[in-house]
Structure 1
Amino acid sequence: MNISVPDSLAEQVRARDLPISAICQEALLDAVERERAKEGVSSNFAAVVERLRGTVDVRDRERQKSDREMRGEGHADGIAWAKDYATAAELQYMASYDPARKEGSPLRSLFPFMSDKKNEKVTHIPPIKVKDPYWAGFIAGAGEVWAVVADQLR
């Protein structure tokens, strides 16, 4: 096997008395190993893609099912809270919930409601996030109760 290099590079190699054959062999071995690694990965890409597609689909279905279940649980809890725990002001606040509102949350009755639900004293309630399926359902459930009773309270 012969290799060609530019004259200027050949002069620099000779001037430093570098072992040309050993350096070339090492560089060629590195190149062969890189190509072999690419071939090993490339030949399995189809199987990897199929496996990943299946995983994504299953996880999406599980997440969607979980989201539906969480929304349903939140909806039932929102109705229960509205019927048995909420004050009129709290119910109105929740039914028109706006996360951009700057005032503090007047939802004190959430603490006893959640404590009763969990059978333990709750001292912290995570922030209400409209995009969270549980809270979206909770707000919707509370809103349904408010829609029924609001006119009767005025």
Structure 2
Amino acid sequence: MECGDHRHWGLHGAAGLFLVRRETAVDGVRRVTDVVLQHRAVWSHEGGTWGIPGGAVAPDESAEAGALREAGEEAGVDPAAVRVLGEHLLDHGPWSYTTVVAEVAPGARVDPAATDAESIAVRWVPVDEVPALPLHPAFAAAVADLLAVASTA
């Protein structure tokens, strides 16, 4: 889909999963320690960069359902192992991208892995290492907001 100067994937919008691990610090505050990131295949849009698993939302599918489906397809994430904390919306009028912010559910374990050709790798990345990676430009612009949602939920 094209809107303005942008070309987007997904006739009905797109969504991705920003999945974090949080730990309770000595001061009792839960802090984000790691995030699941996808190293995008070189042939893909903005290939070679790091971002989050995601893709086109299907007709009659909610953004949350689409994000969880895509994370399952691209990273092997079981939706039952995820607790949604909130959402972040990038709205371009006729097209939007919803990032579903979530944490690993209590008692669950998530071992992400590249499960299709869209990824070079999918793995947990320590949050303090994220800025040093070559990030997908849209993800780079949103990562501080996404961390804020994950930190305050």
Q: Please give the TM-score of this superposition, normalised by the length of structure 1.
A: 0.21
**Richer in strand (by share):** 2
State TM-score, norm by structure 2. 0.21
Which structure's CA Rg is the greater one? 1
